[in-house]
Amino acid sequence: MSEPDPVGRDALHFCLNLNRATAVLTRHIDHRLSALHGLSLNDFTVLHSVAQAPQGKVRRSDLATQLGLTASGVTRLLLPLEKIGLITRLPDIRDARISYVALTPTGSELLSHALSSAAHISEDLIGHVPGMQLRALSTLLDSLK
Amino acid sequence: MSEPDPVGRDALHFCLNLNRATAVLTRHIDHRLSALHGLSLNDFTVLHSVAQAPQGKVRRSDLATQLGLTASGVTRLLLPLEKIGLITRLPDIRDARISYVALTPTGSELLSHALSSAAHISEDLIGHVPGMQLRALSTLLDSLK
DNA sequence: GACATGTATTTGATAGATCAAATACATGTC
DNA sequence: GACATGTATTTGATCTATCAAATACATGTC
């Protein structure tokens, strides 16, 4: 009994489940990061991405890709971060359309604390999942561009 | 070389990746479902959840859980769906605080088409992932409450 | 049966993100 | 070097979801 029935039904349920789980997960992280450092998950991801980047700077459009946001969403996300002095704006000498994001000393300092918090929070939320399985899902997620 | 470094760093990268991928994925689905049926992914999930429910009705708070939204978010999500006649509101005889959501014939009809679209869209987006792995990951996601 | 406490839902104010259009610049072609 | 086309970013209007507080009802206790 119980015909699971084909035609993308598994894929659909996976998507619905992903949607639900991610909403819950990011809300948790948002709350905790916000309480500890006054940062949302996306705020944190900006700082982290910039810090990881080759020259310590990223193009705004690359941030959009890394966050899964639109360019417009990035503009609005960065606005308050720049205003409170966590990030700065750097021009590109070759191409005046491009604007890089870099960390200020303050941003860098805040990140160093937030990074450890974020890691602990994540570990707390999904630490019970075996590392191998985690990496499997991670590579699956990478395939979703 | 390359020390991955412990203490929840894998967990953190997983969360960031999950956040990015889900944003992209749901935006895709939103666009396509919206073009075909005028429904967002969450709209669709509401119809689908209600249709799946035991008596064809769900409490609003249960919908919140299934969608990963807050109760307040559900209220606002359902409002237009009720207004355009896809769902109705049913009272609970025993407990006047509770309000159930049920499909109207129109909602049910729309769902029958949207369900097949949604399944195809999902298949399209993540069909390349082996089914076994999908189910494994789905159960992983279930463990995130 | 009045009262304190708890649960389900809604509401007001606000943040976060989207889209479509605008701006500003770059690049190739004639 | 003017022009059509394309890319990076920002802006205006709008939508979605949040939080905190309010409402409405239920339940246990005294």
DSSP string, A96-131: TT-EEEEE-HHHHHHHHHHHHHHHHHHHHHHTTS-H
Q: Say if residue B129's pLDDT is above 70.
A: yes
pLDDT at residue B5 is higher than 70: no
Q: Is B112 on the interface with A (CB under 8 A)?
A: no
Which among B117, B101, B103 is positioned nearest to B34, based on CA atoms?
B117
Q: Are strands B99-103 and B57-59 parallel, antiparallel or unpaired?
A: antiparallel
ipTM of the complex: 0.91
Question: Which of 31-50 (A) contact B at CB < 8 A?
Answer: 41-42, 45, 48
Q: Computed over its alpha carbons, how large is the radius of gyration of chain A?
A: 18
The confidence score (pLDDT) of residue B29 equals 96
pLDDT in tens, B69-81: 999 999 999 999 9
Query: How many Å lie between the alpha carbon of A51 and the closest alpha carbon of chain B?
Result: 14
pLDDT at residue B144, rounded to an integer: 79
Task: Please name the residue of chain B whose CA is at the shortest distance from the CA of residue A20.
Answer: B68
Q: Which nucleotides of C are covered by protein (CB under 7 A)?
A: 6-12, 16-21, 24-27
pLDDT mean over B49-67: 95
Size of interface A-B (CB pairs under 8 A): 174
Q: Is A57 helix (H, G, I), strand (E, B) or coil?
A: strand
Sign of CA dihedral A74, A75, A78, A79: negative
B residues 66..105 contacting A (CB < 8 A): 66-69
Residue B95 has pLDDT above 90, yes or no: yes
SS3 of B124, please?
A: helix
**Class of domain A9-138 (CATH, top level):** mainly alpha
State residue A77's pLDDT score: 97
Mean pLDDT of B127-132: 86
A114 HSE (CA, 13 A, CB side)? 28
- Which residues, other chains included, contact A12 with Cβ-Cβ below 8 Å and sequence gap of 6+? B118, B119, B122, B123
Q: Which two tokens stand for residue B44?
A: 């669709």
Cβ–Cβ gap B123/A19 under 8 Å: no
CATH number listed for the domain at residues B10-126: 1.10.10.10
Which residue type occupies A77? L
Residues contacting A1, CB < 8 A, separation 6+: none
* Residue A134, CB, strand D, below 7 Å: no
**So where are chain B's domains?**
10-126
* Residue in chain B lying closest to A13 (CA): B138
* Nearest alpha carbon to residue A107 among A30, A39, A41: A39
Residue written as token pair 């209600």: B50
Q: What is the pLDDT of residue A70?
A: 97
User: A100 and A59 in contact (C-beta within 8 Å)?
Assistant: yes
Closest alpha carbon to A12 in B36, B103, B26: B26
B22 and A18 within 8 Å at the Cβ level: the answer is: yes
pLDDT exceeds 70 at position B2:
no
pLDDT tens for chain A, 145 residues: list them.
556 557 888 899 999 999 999 999 999 999 999 999 999 999 999 999 999 999 999 999 999 999 999 999 999 999 999 999 999 999 999 999 999 999 999 999 999 999 999 999 999 999 888 888 888 888 888 887 7
